[in-house]
Structure 1
Amino acid sequence: MNLLKEAITDQNIILKLIPQRAPIVMVDSLLYFDETKVISGLTISEDNMFLQDDYLTEPGLIEHMAQTVALYTGYHFYIKKLLAPEGYIGAIKGVHIKKLPKVHMKLETEVEILQEVMGITLVKGITRLDGEIIMSAQMKTVLKK
């Protein structure tokens, strides 16, 4: 069951949910949230630091997925009126990138929480472009202590 009443697209709120700041903010909407899943969105802007020849690079797709995990954790903290914690990508595996999106395209990334223990979150995720899966990966993130 979606615990989010409506999508969050207000950038002031998004910045309360993640520790990242410009120029490295790689999520611009929280579309869905429950205890085991989160869906984020990103419209690729012309000033995105991960662009090369008007295409979002592989590291940009990976960072977008990592920030989707941060959005999941940050929203947990936000509803408890706490600041979003900083974290790191601890490991990433099984990365499959089918195609790179262009500037102005809208990504939607769905992350399923597989396990969460002592500040370590293990997830599997997919990124869609116009409904087509363009990336999948497993990722482990670790909260900064």
Structure 2
Amino acid sequence: METMALLEKEMVENLLPQKFPFVMVDAMHSYTETSLVSGLKIQSENIFVENNIFLEAGLIEHMAQSVALHTGYQYFLRNEIAPTGYIGSIKEIEIKKLPQLNDNIQSEVTILQEFAGITLVNIVTKLNNEEIANGQMKTVLAK
């Protein structure tokens, strides 16, 4: 069963600083002040697809962009332009399985702490409700 996206591809792309071919999120399924569920359909033109497999670097970038989407949407709701963010650090990313071409992955971002433009998040990525990756990241907003 496919869940209806709260935001579709074009809107999501407008909220991300990354542009094609580097966009690794194409849907937002849910949003709260402290969480977000994003989605990505793995397609052949994706730069991180090799031999029909979505590579580790793509998964990590998908996770990071899911965090960026949360920030971008927060600013959008306030009618402000979102600043660019960077990955400050990545802690213990565990990748259990790599998705394949045409798979739909979803990542749940949970904000653990937010202070002075630095956000600590927990991210769980699933494929067909099976956890395939998880980890923690710190993101930093550019001043």
TM-score range, shorter chain: over 0.9
SS in 1 for 2:62: helix
Partner Cα separation in structure 1 for residue 104 and residue 10 of structure 2: 20
Matched, 1:120 2:99: no
Give 1:80 shift.
1.3
Map of 2:13 onto structure 1: 15
Q: Deviations over 1:83-136 (max 9, x none)?
A: 232111110011111110001100000010001111111001100000000001
Match for residue 101 of structure 2 among 100, 103, 126: 103
**TM-score (ref. length: structure 1):** 0.92
CA RMSD of aligned residues (A): 1.0
Map of 2:44 onto structure 1: 46
Give 1:76 shift.
0.5
Gaps (5+ residues) in structure 1? 1-5
Partner Cα separation in structure 2 for residue 53 and residue 106 of structure 1: 17
SS in 2 for 1:42: strand
Gaps (5+ residues) in structure 2? none
Q: Deviations over 1:14-35 (max 9, x none)?
A: 1221111011001001111101
SS in 2 for 1:75: helix
SS in 2 for 1:136: strand
Partner Cα separation in structure 2 for residue 103 and residue 55 of structure 1: 6
Divergent runs of 4+, >2 A: none
Matched, 1:73 2:71: yes
Partner Cα separation in structure 2 for residue 45 and residue 120 of structure 1: 32
- Percent identical: 47
